[in-house]
C-alpha cells in the first residue's frame, strides 16, 4: 500500500507500537558496523534514531503501554536483554537503561519476541537462525529469567495472546518448523500446560496475533503470509493465503527478519527483502607469502 520512514539498510526487525502510530525498526549503520533502533511514524512521517553506538541494538519489542522497548543489546558479547524508556515529558528520546541486564546464565543470547499485556513478562529467544533452541521468560519486576519452552528440538518466536492465557510459537518437533498454540498460566511459576494445537500445515516460522485475539498471522518458509481464524481458546480454522512477500525468502538466512500487523489486523508492516545489492568484497590471493620476508 505504501512506505513508512525513509529508505535505509533495515536489518529486518520491524514492530508496530500498541497505538498503531509508531514503528520501531532495526537499521544497520555502515559507519559503525552496528545495529541501532529507529522510531518512525506508521503514516510515513520522519524517522529519528533512538539508540547509538558503540553498542549494537536490535529486535525491538514494545511494552503494552507503548512507553518502553525491550531490546537485544551487545557490545562485546552475545546480545542481552535491556529495556529503554522512549517517552519522557511527552517526548521520545533515548533514556538510561532501566537495568544493566536481566539475571541470566552467562553468555546466553537474549533476543526479545514479545511483551505480555500485563507488563510482567518478556519472552525471548536464546538463539538466531539455526541456533534457535529455547524460549525463556524474563520477569520485569524481579529481573529473573526462567526457561519456558525447553526441549530437545528447536522452539522460538513466542507471542502472547491479549488475555495472556495462550502462547503462539514455532516448534520443530515434527521435523520442520510449524506454528503451535498452547495454554499459558502466569500464577506462581509461569508455565505451559495442556495440549498444544498445530496451526500451520506446511511449514511456518514467524507468527503474530491480531490485537483482539480472533486471528493469527504467520509467514511460511516460502514467503507466503497466511491468516487463521481463532474459533475458540484452542480451536482454529484452516490457514488462508493472503499474499506472497516479494523478494528473497528469509527463512534459514542470518537476517533477523520480523514483521508486524496493525491492531485491527488489516495492514502489515515489513521490510523489503532481496532488493539491495550486496556489499563489495575483496579477495586476496597468496596472502601467506606476505608473512615471508
Residue 16 has pLDDT above 80, yes or no: yes
Average of per-residue pLDDT across 195-201: 96
Residue 288, SS3?
A: helix
Mean pLDDT of the chain: 87
User: Higher pLDDT residue, 74 or 4?
Assistant: 74
Confidence band of 190 (pLDDT split at 50, 70, 90): very high
Residue 260 has pLDDT above 90, yes or no: yes
Find the range with the poorest average confidence among 66-75, 95-104, 124-133, 189-198.
95-104
Average of per-residue pLDDT across 143-171: 93
Domain at 10-273: CATH architecture: 6 Propeller (2.120)
Residue 99 has pLDDT above 70, yes or no: no
Q: How far apart are CA 242 and CA 213, in angstroms?
A: 18
CA torsion through residues 225, 226, 230, 235, sign? negative
Q: Each residue of 22-72: pLDDT tens digit? A: 999 999 888 788 899 999 887 776 788 888 888 899 999 999 999 999 999
The per-residue pLDDT for 101 is 55
Q: Each residue of 114-137: pLDDT tens digit? A: 999 999 999 999 987 656 689 999
Residue 257, SS3?
A: coil
Residue 290, phi then psi, degrees to nearest 5: -70, -15
Residue 125, SS3?
A: strand
Q: How far apart are CA 87 and CA 92, in angstroms?
A: 4
Confidence band of 85 (pLDDT split at 50, 70, 90): confident
User: Higher pLDDT residue, 196 or 5?
Assistant: 196
The per-residue pLDDT for 7 is 78
User: Higher pLDDT residue, 249 or 208?
Assistant: 208
Whether 257 contacts 269, CB under 8 Å: no
Confidence band of 167 (pLDDT split at 50, 70, 90): very high
The per-residue pLDDT for 132 is 66
In the chain, domain spans: 10-273
User: Higher pLDDT residue, 10 or 98?
Assistant: 10
Average of per-residue pLDDT across 91-109: 57
Whether 58 contacts 256, CB under 8 Å: yes
Amino acid at each position: 500500500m505504501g512506505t513508512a520512514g525513509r529508505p535505509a539498510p533495515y536489518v529486518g526487525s520491524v514492530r508496530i507500537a500498541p497505538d498503531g502510530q509508531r514503528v520501531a525498526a532495526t537499521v544497520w549503520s555502515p559507519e559503525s558496523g552496528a545495529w541501532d533502533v529507529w522510531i518512525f511514524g506508521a503514516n510515513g512521517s520522519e524517522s529519528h534514531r533512538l539508540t547509538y553506538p558503540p553498542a549494537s541494538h536490535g529486535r525491538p519489542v514494545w511494552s503494552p503501554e507503548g512507553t518502553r522497548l525491550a531490546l537485544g543489546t551487545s557490545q562485546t558479547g552475545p546480545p542481552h536483554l535491556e529495556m529503554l524508556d522512549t517517552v519522557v515529558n511527552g517526548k521520545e528520546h533515548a533514556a538510561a537503561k532501566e537495568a544493566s541486564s536481566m539475571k541470566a546464565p552467562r553468555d546466553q543470547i537474549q533476543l526479545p519476541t514479545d511483551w505480555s499485556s500485563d507488563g510482567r513478562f518478556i519472552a525471548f529467544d536464546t538463539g538466531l537462525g539455526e541456533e534457535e533452541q529455547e524460549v525463556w521468560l524474563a520477569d520485569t519486576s524481579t529481573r529473573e529469567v526462567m526457561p519456558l519452552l525447553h526441549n530437545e528440538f528447536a522452539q522460538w518466536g513466542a507471542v502472547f495472546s491479549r488475555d495472556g492465557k495462550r502462547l503462539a510459537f514455532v516448534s520443530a518437533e515434527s521435523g520442520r518448523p510449524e506454528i503451535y498454540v498452547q495454554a499459558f498460566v502466569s500464577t506462581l511459576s509461569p508455565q505451559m500446560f495442556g495440549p498444544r494445537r498445530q496451526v500451520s500445515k506446511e511449514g511456518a516460522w514467524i507468527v503474530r496475533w491480531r490485537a483482539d485475539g480472533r486471528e493469527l498471522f504467520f509467514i511460511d518458509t516460502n514467503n507466503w503470509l497466511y491468516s487463521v481464524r481463532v474459533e475458540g481458546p484452542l480451536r482454529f480454522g484452516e490457514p488462508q493465503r493472503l499474499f506472497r512477500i516479494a523478494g528473497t525468502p528469509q527463512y534459514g538466512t542470518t537476517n533477523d527478519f520480523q514483521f508486524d500487523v496493525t491492531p485491527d489486523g488489516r495492514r502489515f508492516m515489513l521490510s523489503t527483502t532481496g532488493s539491495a545489492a550486496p556489499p563489495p568484497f575483496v579477495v586476496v590471493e597468496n596472502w601467506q607469502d606476505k608473512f615471508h620476508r
